[in-house]
Amino acid sequence: MSPEMNPASGFNQLRQIESSKIFQTLVITIIILSALTIGAKTYDLPVLVEQSLTVMDNAITVFFLIEILFRFSASPVKRRFLLDGWNLFDTLVVIGSLIPLDNSEAVLLGRLLRVFRVLRLVSVVPELRFLINSLLKAIPRMGYIALLMFIIFYIYAAMGSMFFASVDDKLWGDVAIAMLTLFRVATFEDWTDVMYATMEQYPLSWIYYLTFIFLTAFVFLNMMIGAILEVMSEEQNAKEAQKAHDERDEITRQLQGVQQQLEELTRQVAGRDRE
Q: Tens digits of per-residue pLDDT, 99-129? A: 665 655 556 666 677 777 777 777 778 788 8
CA-to-CA distance for 209 and 226, rounded, in angstroms? 24
CA distances 190 to 49, 180, 204, Å, are 45, 13, 19
CA distances 106 to 54, 56, 95, 113, 162, Å, are 17, 20, 13, 11, 51
Confidence of residue 159 (pLDDT cuts 50, 70, 90): very high
Q: What share of the chain in percent tops pLDDT 70?
A: 88
Nearest residue to 178 via CA among 208, 143, 214, 204: 208
CA-to-CA distance for 98 and 205, rounded, in angstroms? 59
Asked if residue 245 has pLDDT above 60, the reply is yes
- For 170-186, how does the pLDDT look when each residue is reduced to its tens digit (9 = 90+)? 999 899 999 999 999 99
CA 161 to the chain's CA centroid: 40
Lowest mean pLDDT among 4-8, 61-65, 88-92: 4-8
Confidence of residue 9 (pLDDT cuts 50, 70, 90): low
CA-to-CA distance for 131 and 229, rounded, in angstroms? 10
What is the rounded average pLDDT for all residues in the chain?
82
Asked if residue 77 has pLDDT above 90, the reply is no
CA 48 to the chain's CA centroid: 36
Q: What is the CA radius of gyration of the chain?
A: 30
Q: Mean pLDDT throughout 232-242?
A: 83
CA distances 233 to 2, 81, 191, 238, Å, are 47, 27, 36, 9
Q: Provide the pLDDT for residue 5.
A: 47
Q: Provide the pLDDT for residue 31.
A: 85
